[in-house]
Amino acid sequence: MAKIGHPLRILPQIDSTNEEIKRNLAANLPEGAVVIADQQTNGRGRLGRSWHSEFGSGLYLSTLLKPDLPPENLSLVTLMAGVATATAIQHLAPVKLKWPNDILLNGKKLAGTLCECIYKPGSIPAVIVGIGINLNHTSFPKEIQGIATSLKLETGKTINRSELVLNLLQNLNSEYIEFLQRKNKNLIRKWTEQSNMFGKTMTVHQKGKTLLGTAVGLNPQGKLILQTPEGKKHVLDSGELIEATSKNL
Ligand code: BT5
């Protein structure tokens, strides 16, 4: 396994750090390569959504992994990225993980991860792990000001990006070593310990329908188990969107 963080490029501006890694795959970019940008002009979220990436205020980082594991293990990469990110921030603020890819602080979104897998039958998958963390933003655009927050806004402190990057890369390395050793139970335990969503009633929007239930745990593949009031358990894929709900109940 290569060490995550070598080579490391810091760019003043790019469309998306995930895209930059993707563009370099054909040139045999090595596992562990990291791209960081001061600003993204087309930062991406899941399902075609965008990630607000203003200059100098956030951490926008992507890394390339090449885990020689079956595709069914790959959804656990999102949990791994979440655990590594939350652990790197925990000494600054009490962040919580929300399935599948959110890192919340005081109920607002502080960070998100975007894991993209390029899987060609017969070859080792290329997995691009993108991480966006709001560090020193003092405001957000109208569309997200009610749901987004930054470490600066919540703690009043100015955050040193380099220190956080070092911490994050160390955590990603140690989590990735365990991931390759298939210590999935450990990962699920760590993820669960850093989340406060279990036991809560949630609504899930999937395929045009709304499902209401209690989040009761993660299965060994990292999928969310939701139990309906009738006692039926649904296992949800990471592609589905979950929203915390007290207001819609
Ligand atoms: C995510 O998507 O949370 C994944 C975010 C990943 C960003 C990183 S930055 C480095 C790398 N390069 C990229 O291009 N992306 C990755 P999702 O769960 O779909 O959440 C997106 C939604 O979060 C948006 O539709 C907004 O509602 C909200 N949002 C957008 N920007 C935000 C921000 N800076 N902070 C908090 N919420 C935001």
The tens-digit pLDDT sequence of the chain (249 residues) is: 668 999 999 999 999 999 999 999 989 999 999 999 999 999 999 989 999 999 999 999 999 999 988 777 778 999 999 999 999 999 999 999 999 999 999 999 999 999 999 887 778 889 999 999 999 999 999 999 999 999 999 999 999 999 999 999 999 999 999 999 999 999 999 999 999 999 998 888 777 778 888 999 999 999 999 999 999 999 987 544 455 444 433
51: left (phi over 0), alpha (psi -120 to 50) or beta: beta
Q: Is the CB of 150 under 6 A from ligand 1?
A: no
What is the DSSP secondary-structure string of 220-236? TTSPEEEE-TTS-EEEE
Q: Please give the helix or strand (H or E) that residue 214 lies within, else none.
A: strand 209-218
Residue 69: per-residue pLDDT: 82
Residue 249: per-residue pLDDT: 37
217: left (phi over 0), alpha (psi -120 to 50) or beta: left
Residue 202: per-residue pLDDT: 87
By the 10 Å C-beta count (0-12 exposed, 13-18 middle, 19+ buried), 67 is classed as: buried
Residue 247: per-residue pLDDT: 42
CA 113–ligand 1 middle distance (angstroms): 7
User: Is 42 in contact with 16 (CB distance < 8 Å)?
Assistant: yes
Residue nearest to atom 20 of ligand 1 (CA): 45
Question: What is the spatial distance between Cα 33 and Cα 129, in angstroms, rounded to a whole number?
Answer: 11
CA 52–ligand 1 middle distance (angstroms): 7
Residue 242: per-residue pLDDT: 54
Question: What residues contact 11, with CB distance under 8 A and at least 6 apart?
Answer: 17, 20, 35, 36, 37, 38
* Amino acid of residue 210: T
Residue nearest to atom 35 of ligand 1 (CA): 148
CA 55–ligand 1 middle distance (angstroms): 15
Question: What is the spatial distance between Cα 152 and Cα 222, in angstroms, rounded to a whole number?
Answer: 31
Residue 241: per-residue pLDDT: 47
Residue 123: per-residue pLDDT: 82
Question: What is the spatial distance between Cα 91 and Cα 229, in angstroms, rounded to a whole number?
Answer: 37
CA 149–ligand 1 middle distance (angstroms): 12
User: Is 63 in contact with 20 (CB distance < 8 Å)?
Assistant: no
Residue 246: per-residue pLDDT: 42
Residue 229: per-residue pLDDT: 92
Q: Which segments of the chain does DSSP mark as H helices, in order?
A: 17-23, 76-89, 151-155, 161-180, 184-193
CA 243–ligand 1 middle distance (angstroms): 15
Question: What is the spatial distance between Cα 86 and Cα 81, in angstroms, rounded to a whole number?
Answer: 9
Residue 209: per-residue pLDDT: 77
Residue nearest to atom 37 of ligand 1 (CA): 148
Q: Report phi then psi at 18, rounded to 5.
A: -65, -45
